[in-house]
Amino acid sequence: MQKPKIVVFTGAGVSAESGIATFRDSNGLWHNHKIEDVASPQGWARNPQLVLDFYNQRRRDVESAQPNAAHKAIAKLERAFDVCVVTQNIDDLHERGGSSHVVHLHGEIIKARSCVDEADIYSIGYADIKLGDTSTTGHQLRPYIVWFGEAVPLYEEAEDIIAQADKILVIGTSLCVFPAAYLLQSARAEAEKVLVGPAMEQVPRGYQYIADTAVGAVPLLVAQWLGK
């Protein structure tokens, strides 16, 4: 028998409880840097060393962080469901928490790409990227991150996955980052939909809202869905 399909759509809130800060916590500054300086093609063109230093530190932060109870609970859903995690996060905590199918909309901190060819991608683990590190075609490597103003290459894949879901669980996202926030419009009307997050100003129509943190709500919800 085919397993029901679940899409878990996650944002920064699921990783914040593992100690990974978000730029939306501090008036548009991300670790005391202006977003446009470290997360845009223009910032890269002005000062690539600054950008590399910034993401090298973020990579160290991710390496030292650990999956929390929400990450681990999401992975447990695979016991009974066909699960895909669609995440706006660039960390690897979902994978380390046990999830086997993760779509990273905004890139992955543990990968690098050619600054010329967005499809020329390399797994680097938690190593630094330095000026002079090049792709096999001789182009400088940059973080494999989708910066502001760049296209989201996995958008259509994620859209198709969400359109097929029987259940949708949204965790830790303000639904304010576009175009990713539009993805939920692809969901079928009859799909069961749950949104977990503290102090949401507006809840999309058709969603059950749980006003709690990821760690506070997700393990309990997963246990309920698994019938325990």
Which residues are catalytically annotated? Answer: 106
Q: CA end-to-end span of the chain, whole Å?
A: 21
Amino acid (one-letter) located at 156: E
Query: Measured between alpha carbons, how far is 193 from 208 in angstroms, rounded to an integer?
Result: 6
Query: Measured between alpha carbons, how far is 162 from 174 in angstroms, rounded to an integer?
Result: 18
Tell me how far the alpha carbon of residue 214 is from its chain's centroid.
14
Query: Measured between alpha carbons, how far is 174 from 108 in angstroms, rounded to an integer?
Result: 20
Query: Measured between alpha carbons, how far is 12 from 24 in angstroms, rounded to an integer?
Result: 9
